Structures are given as structure tokens and as C-alpha cells.
Structure 1
């Protein structure tokens, strides 16, 4: 095993360089955002405006392009193991974050933050860059599926696996994750509970009044009592109808809180991708050259805008809040530790077991680039898009910037490089 790892270290030097360059590209765009903020082009209000514009238009375009072009009924059948892996990875991440927050007694306010950072990893831009670099390096020759395979086909398959995995992450991130990172406090929760109690008290008071009026009046005439009972019964039915409508409205409001423009775009992309006739119109019909390509072009703006705003945020917080609040250190540390250390320790043996014994259930277990892709998407740092969500919602901004800075600036290169080497060792054995 040691000899294989050392051989990988010698052969894959070009891959390490390419991987470092992909991280440096991210840092350069972030640095440009900080410079623009320093020069006065991006103050805090402009950052929030740009983030909201990105969230409302450019990010939905990106999600529509990535999901609609990849998803299909055939791929759902052939790639059934990818959503299974996603569910397993998310379940493991949520469980680990819950246990860590309980052990370290994290405040309820920050439990949602830690869960979001651990559950939602970078499942698009960074894995695609790693696989594209890996496929054209010397290490790519170890990933041949058969004798007719080539490095270009390895790259195409690996990127398709990553994008297919990423669409499930995008849907959950922009629904449940968006809701996790919203500004909430205990007073709102208590007020909602008090409102519910008051409504229940009113309902029981109405019920008691109804019973008294129906059965407690013995001195009135029978006809008058009958009219009163009918009238009060109608009022009771009316109150019950109003109560049912209010509960339905609360349910719709709860669903609406989980929705966001990117999630609407993802659902529309699923509709387009899963219906062959509609997908043909968008990708092979008259809409392809005009509408679809325009959406693709707008989607390419999303990630650079996120990184520019991220750099401007870092500069703004450095100027306004030079010393980090001690309350943030524990959730930031736990988010990085669980996401970058504990989750990979669970992902690696899980994927290795599938590679070893999963060939009976899926032919993808025999594809080396699939195994490497699943390891990569399961071990990447926290998603950069979460910074966009925190800025738009006005919650957890400083904590998220700290997590992203330490994750990408310090831990990403050594940990992800080690993880890729272990994945290459898996497929070599």
C-alpha cells in the first residue's frame, strides 16, 4: 500500500499543480472583490443588491442549465446509485453535525448554521475542476474502464457524474438549506407558540359556549331553543371553516418560506429534463440557439459574482469587525472539523465498500472515475453559495466567511489532495 501511495505521489505531481491552480483561480477572483471594495466600488449596500440580483436571476439560470441539460429518465435509471449516495452523504453529515453540536453544547441559534455548513458541500465547481485536471494528468491513465477508454471520455463521464450528483444538492440547498440560514430568533418561535395556544383557547371557549347554549337553557321555549341551537351550530361550523382556512394558509406560508428563485428554476429544469418532447424543444429545437444559450450565458456569470461578493464581504467585515466574536469560534471550528475531517472518514470506507462489493447491484461500481468522483463530491469543503444565502438573508455572515476562508485558504488543498490519492489507491487495488 505504501509503495502504491508513493508511486501516486510521484506520478501525480502534475495533477497537484493543476489542483492548486484551480484553487488559486478562486482566490484571485475573491481578491479582486476585496480590491473593488477597497476602492469604493462595492460598499455593503451594493454587495447586498448584487447578491440579491444574483440570487434572483443569474443563479436560477445556472441551476436551470446544469440540471435540465443533465437530467433524463434514462440517467435516473442508469445512475440510480448517485441519489442513493447523496442521501447517505447528507444523512451522515446531518448526524455528525447533530452529535457534534450536542457534545460541544452549541447554542440553538448556531446549530442550524453548523448543519448547513456540514450538509451542503461544494458539489459543482471544485469537483469539476479536480476531475478535469485529473483526467488529463498521468493519473488519468489509471482510470480507464476498459481498453477502448480514453482520457477525454473519462473526463466527460466524471463531469456528468458530478453534475448529476450536484443537482440533488442544489435542490436541497435552495430549499432546506435556504430555510436553515434564515434569520430566526427565540422570540419569534415563542410568539408563534403563544399564537397557537391562544387560537386553541378560543376554540375551546367557543365549544363551551356552544354546549352551554345548547343544553344549559331550560327556561326558554322549545322552539326558541331549537332556533338558538341551529344558529349557534351554524356559527360553530363557520368558525371551524375559518380555522381550517387559517391552518391551510399557515401551511402554504411554511412551504413558501422554503421556496426560493433557484429552487423554482430547479423544479422547472426537472420538468424540462424529464419530459423528452419538452427537452427536445429546449436543446434541439428552435429554442436552443436563442433562449437556452442565453440562459447558459447568464448562468456562467453566477459563480464569479458570488466570489466577487465574497471578497468584498471579507474586506468589509475586516474593516468593521476586526476581531472575531468569541461566540463564533465554536460553531466555525465544528463546521470545518466535521466537514473536512469526520465526513471524509465516513465517506471513504462507504465508497470503498461499494467499489468492492457493489458490482452485483450496479455496473458503475466497476468504473474507476465513478468511484473517484463519489469520493471527491463527498469530501469537498462547504459550498461557496452559502455565503450568498447568508448575505441575502442577513444572518450568519461573519461565521460563514470565516468557514469559507479557513476551508478554502488553509485546509482544502492538503485534505482534498490526500483524499484524491486515497481514491486513486482504491481503484488501483
Structure 2
């Protein structure tokens, strides 16, 4: 009965995403969301909505003690990311993908849903008998276990967003996709009319200007927001200024950021559906093999690897079944919805990402139920032993 209830909740969760995406598709098809509107809303999401969401969620849930005590999570996250990237490279070699296609495949495998799916499943488990598999000791309660699980998932969210909006945006850039804003005159050509002092000054500034450019090329608004959130969240005095209801910072900055940030995910999903309207049937068929490989890795290979790693390393850290569950989920599930935001930042692969996410979330309901049953079964055996 618990698994049947879980299946119903999984279908409800994925159907919500699909219905919003279908709405976006219809809006694009009938001209409500034309190309210009899509571009404007994409920029709004990247430059305002997503940074507000990251600041509001991460800064509130993270503190220095949490970061120190949960060292297994970042280590596990890094290992899983490296293995995922390796699978992308292997797929590129085996199936003879181009360099840019291999980057797209690696992006789809590395960056999975480590936020809404794990948190949604944890919240749904609380209402079922399956939560008993994830209790830690005789005095644990479903509510306490769920709170721990959500904090673990939010730490993964922080790590994932830093990686997505730094390495991920670089990874999605196609060959020859040059930033038009790049500084081109830093080694500026000198002539006989150029003052000597100006030439020396320019030569001195060149390495510094190049460094600044490289940093600016690497950074983007969501990444800035994630880094600011870490600073605010890990310094208690500053955190209290931003997250106590009575402070002026909470009223003027935090509360509006929370309110605005809540729009980010629904709008991203709406734009996802609109992008599907732009995907030609020929292009969809062309990338079907690439998408199939990504989904095989995300729904089959990586969950198996994640489960095996937890089973082999569980003696090295505290034996919280909820921690094991979140670590297994770190390796599982579909590609993250906000890789669409990454594609929007770089201006590449937007149609391909839309197709990948559409197929992935269509397969989510049956697949998530299968690996949930396997994970809970494994965790039950580990706790009994």
C-alpha cells in the first residue's frame, strides 16, 4: 500500500510539471509566447528570479556547523559528478558524438534533479509506512527524519547550483561560441603617435584586465547569488540580520527575494514547454539517440552506482538511514530542470535541452517508483544488519 501511495504521489508530482510545460507549449504555438517574449522572460529568470530563489533558499538553510558535520555529502557529490562526467566522455567515444554533442551529453548526465525530486519524495514518505525504513534509532520520529533529509538535500542543492552555474555553463558552450563582449583591445596596437607612458600603462594593465575578463566570463547572476548565500548563511550575525522577521534587511531584501524567487521554477517549466514548440520533428529524431543514452545513464546506470557506493562506504560516517537515502538520490533521477537556465545563459542547446527534459519527465513517474522501491529495500537490509 505504501508503494502504491508513493506511485500516486510520484505521478501527481510529475504530472504537475508536464501540465505546466504543456501550457507553455500551447502559449508558444498560438503566439502568446513568441520568440521575443521567450527571450525576455529567459533573461528575467536568469538575471533576477533564479538569483533571488538561490539566495532565499540556500542562505536560510545553510550554516557553518552543517557544512562541517556533513562532509560525506560533498565528497559523495564530487565522486558522483566525476563518474557522471566520465560516462559522458565514454558515450561520446562509443557513439562518435561531436565535441559539442559530448559536452551536451555530459551536462545531461552530471546535472540531475537534487532538489525538488528528493525533497518531494521525502515529504511524501512521511505520510507512508516507508518512512520507518529511514528512522535513525529508537527515538527518531518521521518529522525529525524528514527535517534531516531536507537539510541534506538543500546542501546538495547548494553544491549543485555552484557547479551548474560555473562549470556547467562553460560545458554547454559550443565550439566557436565567442562572447561578443570580450575585450579585444587589451594588447592594443601601439603606433609612433602613441605616448610611451600610455603604452607602459596599458602593458601593465593587460594581464589584470584578462584576469578580470576570465572571472567575469566564469561568473553569472545565479552563481553570484549562491556565493553571497554561503557568506550570509555561515556568518550568524549577518544571517540574523537577513532572516529575523523584525529586521529591516528581512523586510526590504529577504522577504521580496523569497516572493520573487518562488516564480522562478514555474516560469522555467513554462518556458521549457515553449521551447518544445520550436523543436522541429527532424531535429527531435536526430538527437533521440543522444537523449536515450543520457536517460539510460540517469535512470539506470547512475542509481546502481550510487547504491553500490553507499553500501561500500556506509561504515565511514554516521549511520543515518536518511543520509544514505539522500546520497543514493544524489546519483539518481532525471536531468535537472534548471539546465534549461544554463542553456539560456550560454544561448546554446535550448531546443535539445527542452526535448531531453520533456522525455525525462515523461519517464519519471514509473522510473522513480522502481528505484525508490530498490533503495528502500537496500536501506532496510542495511539497518537490519
TM-score, normalised to structure 2, is 0.89
In structure 2, what is the Cα distance between the partners aligned to 1:142 and 1:340?
22
Match of 1:229 in 2: none
Match of 1:231 in 2: none
Matched, 1:258 2:208: no
User: Secondary structure at the residue paired with 1:379?
Assistant: coil
Matched, 1:403 2:362: no
The gaps in structure 2 that reach 5 residues or longer are: 190-195
In structure 2, what is the Cα distance between the partners aligned to 1:300 and 1:421?
31
Match of 2:243 in 1: 283
Match of 1:50 in 2: 41
Which residue among 100, 114, 130 is the counterpart of 1:109? 100
Q: Could you say which structure has the higher helix fraction? A: 1
Deviations 1:232-276 (Å, cap 9, x if unpaired)? xxx8x9978755532332232222111110011111111101111
User: Secondary structure at the residue paired with 1:382?
Assistant: coil
Which residue among 320, 324, 336 is the counterpart of 1:371? 324
In structure 2, what is the Cα distance between the partners aligned to 1:18 and 1:11?
11
Whether the 8 Å contact between 1:68 and 1:270 is mirrored in structure 2 is: yes
Deviations 1:193-243 (Å, cap 9, x if unpaired)? xx9xxx8xx9xxxxxxxxxxxxxxxxxxxxxxxxxxxxxxxx8x9978755
* Alignment of structure 1 residues 216-255 onto 2, 5 Å: 242-243=202-203, 245-255=205-215
Quick check: which has more Rg, 1 or 2? Answer: 1
* Alignment of structure 1 residues 94-243 onto 2, 5 Å: 94-185=85-176, 242-243=202-203
In structure 2, what is the Cα distance between the partners aligned to 1:338 and 1:55?
28
The gaps in structure 1 that reach 5 residues or longer are: 1-9, 203-234
Matched, 1:419 2:371: yes
Match of 1:273 in 2: 233
Cα root mean square deviation, aligned: 2.6
Aligned length: 370
In structure 1, what is the Cα distance between the partners aligned to 2:198 and 2:274?
55
Whether the 8 Å contact between 1:310 and 1:387 is mirrored in structure 2 is: yes
TM-score, normalised to structure 1, is 0.80
In structure 1, what is the Cα distance between the partners aligned to 2:105 and 2:212?
27
Match of 1:223 in 2: none
* Alignment of structure 1 residues 320-335 onto 2, 5 Å: 321-324=280-283, 327-335=286-294
Whether the 8 Å contact between 2:46 and 2:221 is mirrored in structure 1 is: yes
Deviations 1:340-363 (Å, cap 9, x if unpaired)? 2222221110012233x22xxx22
| Deviation for aligned residue 1:325 | 5.9
Deviates more, 1:239-248 or 1:376-385: 239-248
Deviations 1:131-161 (Å, cap 9, x if unpaired)? 1111221211222212222222222111111
